Amino acid sequence: MKDRLEGLKNEALEKVVQADSLKALQDIRVAYLGKKGPITEVLRGMGQLSAEERPLIGQMANDVRAAITEKLEEKETQLEAQEVERKLAEESIDVTLPGRPVVKGARHPLTAVVEHVEDVFIGMGFEVAEGPEVETDYYNFEALNLPKDHPARDMQDSFYITNELLLRTHTSPVQARTMEKYKGQGPVKIICPGKVFRRDDDDATHSHQFMQIEGLYIDGNVRMSDLKGMLDTFAKQYFGEDRTIRLRPSFFPFTEPSVEVDVSCGICGGKGCRVCKQTGWIEVLGAGMVHPRVLEMGGFDPKKYSGFAFGMGVERLAMLKYGIDDIRHFYTNDLRFLEQFKQV
């Protein structure tokens, strides 16, 4: 019996040494110290022993159980410590490692241009007004002195939804709606950015959908010189303090007189180059004094009020600013194109 106990002890202690997991230790514990284990078996067999053997074997069996238990606990502590080390090593963050790059998006170039232009005009006291993209024929055309059969309507080939509803061809209806809201009481000082739609075939300079920013200022005594001053300020704040403007006579049904507005070329400083086609000037927007008929239809008395209005194409400004030669890039969502505008 003594040898058996000794053998069990050495066998169990050897297995504890070999054990490489807490589970293995638990199995050894159950196998050797469990109810069905050999130590228990020896203790159950105490009855067959002689009276002098019983205390010896009993004591030895308890010593063996204690030795195995102690070794088990020692090894458990060791394995738990190793587990903690392993976890620490596994979970330790090497703060010197470069972080996972946070893929940041960026403003779409058109959004960036609209926000920049808005900042300039808000700085001049204009408020931003917006309106529906699905417009009525009245606000898109009639209220802007473009009666039903007006030839200029063809210039703005339209996506009609019904005889009375269409996708707006410019943001001017927003100004017309806003004028009505003011019930003939000036001043009105708004800019209207937004998407517009024209039934054009897309090519490098035309898109069936593009963006405009138009503006309107109505007050007691607004003059052409106010328009010119405002445009000069806009050009200097948007394009650069060194830039100048030039006004050329033009025609729009909703303004009289009307002008095309050029800004001095930023590439050649006005001397003439490929970008400005040797003219030194770049056409950027149109403007004019609000037509009295439009004031009237907007509920303003042309005898008491006058105003100026202007309009610019956002894609055109972005193409000038970033040297882009095809308007379709703005709409194809090609990341190779869009990633160029990431703010570093």
Give me the residues that bind ligand 2U9 (CB under 6 A), please: 144, 170, 172, 175-176, 212, 214, 216, 252, 254-255, 285-288, 290, 294, 309-313
Q: How far apart are CB 212 and ligand 2U9 at their closest, in Å?
A: 4
Q: How far apart are CB 200 and ligand 2U9 at their closest, in Å?
A: 11
Q: How far apart are CA 140 and CA 115, in angstroms?
A: 24
Does the annotation flag 260 for ligand binding? Answer: no
Identify which of residues 4 and 208 has a Cβ nearer to ligand 2U9 in the complex.
208
What's 323's DSSP letter? T
Q: Which helix (DSSP H) or strand (DSSP E) does residue 257 occupy?
A: strand 255-264
Q: How far apart are CA 343 and CA 147, in angstroms?
A: 46
Q: Which helix (DSSP H) or strand (DSSP E) does residue 121 occupy?
A: helix 109-122
Identify which of residues 4 and 328 has a Cβ nearer to ligand 2U9 in the complex.
328
Asked if 22 contacts 80 with a C-beta cutoff of 8 angstroms, the reply is: yes
Q: How far apart are CB 340 and ligand 2U9 at their closest, in Å?
A: 24
Q: How far apart are CA 25 and CA 13, in angstroms?
A: 11
DSSP 44-92: HGGGGS-TTHHHHHHHHHHHHHHHHHHHHHHHHHHHHHHHHHHHHHHH-
Q: How far apart are CB 131 and ligand 2U9 at their closest, in Å?
A: 11
Asked if 267 contacts 273 with a C-beta cutoff of 8 angstroms, the reply is: yes
Q: How far apart are CB 314 and ligand 2U9 at their closest, in Å?
A: 8
Q: Which residues are annotated as a binding site?
A: 256
Annotated binding residues for Mg(2+), written as ranges, equal 256
